Structure 1
Amino acid sequence: MVVLLVLPHILYTPSILNSLSFSTQVSSPLKAAASHSLSDIEPLPSGSEAHWEVVERILFIYAKLNPGIAYVQGMNEIVGPIYYTFATNPNGAWREHAEADTFFCFTNLMAEIRDNFIKSLDDSQCGITAKMERVYSTLKEEDEELYLRLQEQNIKPQFFAFRWLTLLLSQEFVLPDVIRIWDSLFADENRFDFLLKVSCAMLILIRDQLLEGDFTVNMRLLQDYPLSDGDVLPILKKAKELQDSK
């Protein structure tokens, strides 16, 4: 059986995966990762490919076309919400193209955030370390008391902001909230500066708990963010205030 892949000029057959030594390095972790990121989507009709197979293929082809990055753990958390949005579109004609549309959007998004996934760039000006430090520098400007408290407890931004920034908060909230945050994020011309403001807003909105808590309590808060009233709108509102104050 031959299946037309997300790229119209590439055909996928089982023998392709088997014949590529690269596939043994990539396809196994992709199966687990792709399956993990799509638990909220209803199963496809009998006889259709599983959603995780579609996402696995998207990630595999991306890795093949971008060997400098290949597949890095966490990419499934980026592609998952994109695929979910297309695959659950009430318009059947749009749903038919969910795989191709997801691949296109994922590739364009990765073109903007790829530096986060390249380890050799971690300590460069464009790397993830500099971005994490900017979260703390922004916090220092907006709430020095909270900043000093986290510094006093030796809570480094790497302990929580790495995941926040690299995965665009996709692991911090339930999927509908992630999509709501991404909607605001991608609509902003300076979207990744806005992501830093969102991260800072998240800290400020739980400042009372962070000021009262010890290291253990605060690490738990930052790694399992307590969403007040199950609503991300206060976070986005605060982030917009921080952005507009500059």
Structure 2
Amino acid sequence: MAEITQCLKTLYLQQDSLTKLHQVALESGLNKSLRPLAWRIFLGVLPSEFGEGWEKIIQKQREKYISLRAKHWDNKEMLDPKPKFIDPLAPPTENPVVKENKDILRRVEGDVQRLFSDQEYFTNTELRNKITRMCYVFAKDNPLKNYQQGFHELMAILYHTFDTDNTTTVFIKSCEELDLTDDEKRILRCVLDKEHLEEDIYTIFEFLMKDLGDFYQSKDAKIDDKRSRIQEKCDEIFGYLNTYDGQYHSLLVKHEVINIFAIKWIKMMFAREFLLNDVVIIWDSLFAFGKKLKLLDGFFLAMLHFVRNDIIENNDQVYTMKRVNKFPPVENLHNLITLAINISEGKPPVIVKKVEPQHEKITSKLTGFFIGKKTKEENKGHEKQFVDKTSTPSTMEAIESNETPSWMSESPWGETVTGKKIRAVNENAEKAKAAENHKILKQSIDQLEAENKKEPLDIEAIKRIVEDLKLSLN
């Protein structure tokens, strides 16, 4: 009980509650924070300041939907008065209004029948009837948007979220025991009453469409520009991607997959790419960030960044198509949300150039320092220079078998005079070689550091190689 009371007072009933509510929604999600109440505030259904006005607003909204339902749903099959004279020879005709109503209903029912059919909750007949009614009433009351595929899924997710919210259930069951005033209890009971879910979800959807509805172009809408609003949004997002990751942008354009997945991501607010439990957390952040769902852009780009390396490394159109149409599981969703917020605030990720090509380039330069640039044939000859042409058959046999020639083996009776001379010569040669290598390594480091200042090479790769070379000198 104390936890619910603390949640209400901290996030909803105090004067500075809104700031804290936004913070919780963006940083950790609203699983334990009365999500249905927060979404109403974020979407503008309720004012942010708690008071008597909440109860009046909610009641008025419910009455509005009941009136719309009576007007559109209850009369959807009514015909206009029959004409006084009917020509028996004329072909049968159907009232155009009734025909339109039937067409809307047919499309809605077809979509609702397929609604999340793999999840038992959504197969409930009563729930599907409610979703059908809400979609139909919205289409009739908003002819410019009409009904479009996807509306039923958005409504269903909203309904499921409000119906299954645990903190709401706990509040309803234990309201009388909470440390709240009688007025606070009365108002909150009214707002969170699950008996009016259909009316409330319709209202929430209506407010959501004020921001998201621009991306649902009606078939009857007259648009001067050949591009729809959703296409303009895609252009904006990918244009921004091009400002900080041109390589990735070019690859996606080359593979011609942008419109295939982008429209679905935006219109459905990523609902088809994640599990339902994750979808509501994503929506927490989208609604809390506000600014007409501006975080949609940032989250879109954060998702693209998440699969960036896979797509670039494979560089295959079919693979890219599969990757963006079946998004991989995200282990830490809040990291993705944080990245989305940073992008939306003008702080995109820093793209580090791929390291491997730089390694190859630098390795090639270092090889040039050590042995100079040689052809393959010269290198083959170089390998044979270490074997004296006058070597005896026994020496050649020992070299090929990786054994030490008998004349170079240590004598069991101590080092011979010849052995001492050979050892001294070898030691001097090794010292000279070490000094030369030290000099070459030093030159390599100096040149790499100089090139790093002149060329836009991968800084991290340069640093790692330079550090390795410096360790070699010690």
Q: Say yes or no: TM over 0.5.
A: yes
Whole-Å separation in 2 of the counterparts to 1:117 and 1:219: 23
> How many residues end up aligned between the 2 structures?
238
Q: How does 1:73-222 map to 2 (within 5 A)?
A: 73-90=149-166, 91=169, 94-119=193-218, 120=221, 121=223, 123=225, 127-155=229-257, 157-213=258-314, 214-222=316-324
Residues 131-166 of structure 1, C-alpha deviation per residue, up to 9 Å, x if partnerless?
A: 0111211211232221122223333x2121010111
Structure 2 match to 1:56: 132
CA positional deviation for 1:200: 0.6
- What's the C-alpha RMSD, in Å, of the aligned pairs? 2.8
User: 8 Å contact 1:5–1:12 — kept in the other structure?
Assistant: no
User: 8 Å contact 2:311–2:320 — kept in the other structure?
Assistant: yes
Which sections of structure 1, spanning at least 5 residues, go unmatched? none
Whole-Å separation in 1 of the counterparts to 2:238 and 2:73: 48
Give the letter for the 1:144 counterpart. G
Which sections of structure 2, spanning at least 5 residues, go unmatched? 1-61, 79-97, 173-191, 348-474
Matched, 1:239 2:318: no
Aligned counterpart in structure 1 of residue 325 of structure 2, from 208, 223, 234: 223
Give the letter for the 1:205 counterpart. F
Secondary structure of the residue that 2:65 maps to in structure 1?
Answer: coil
Give the letter for the 2:77 counterpart. N
User: 8 Å contact 1:123–1:129 — kept in the other structure?
Assistant: no
Whole-Å separation in 2 of the counterparts to 1:187 and 1:124: 33
Q: Which segments of structure 1 move beyond 4 Å, counting only runs of 4 or more?
A: 12-15, 119-126
User: 8 Å contact 1:38–1:80 — kept in the other structure?
Assistant: no
Identity %: 23
Structure 1 match to 2:372: none
Whole-Å separation in 2 of the counterparts to 1:122 and 1:104: 31
Whole-Å separation in 2 of the counterparts to 1:191 and 1:224: 27
CA positional deviation for 1:193: 2.2
Structure 1 match to 2:110: 32
Residues 15-57 of structure 1, C-alpha deviation per residue, up to 9 Å, x if partnerless?
A: 6333343321111221232243355463799xxx611110110
Secondary structure of the residue that 2:76 maps to in structure 1?
Answer: helix
Matched, 1:11 2:110: no
User: 8 Å contact 2:73–2:137 — kept in the other structure?
Assistant: no
User: 8 Å contact 2:112–2:152 — kept in the other structure?
Assistant: yes
Cα 1:95/1:240, change in 2 over 3 Å: same
CA positional deviation for 1:76: 1.3
Higher relative contact order (CA 8 A, sep 6+): 2
CA positional deviation for 1:12: 7.5
Greater Rg over alpha carbons, structure: 2
Whole-Å separation in 1 of the counterparts to 2:308 and 2:337: 16
Cα 1:13/1:237, change in 2 over 3 Å: closer
Residues 63-121 of structure 1, C-alpha deviation per residue, up to 9 Å, x if partnerless?
A: 11011221111111221211111222443663211111100000111122222111545
Cα 1:188/1:41, change in 2 over 3 Å: farther
User: 8 Å contact 1:6–1:103 — kept in the other structure?
Assistant: no
Superposition TM-score, scaled by structure 1 size: 0.85
Secondary structure of the residue that 2:66 maps to in structure 1?
Answer: coil
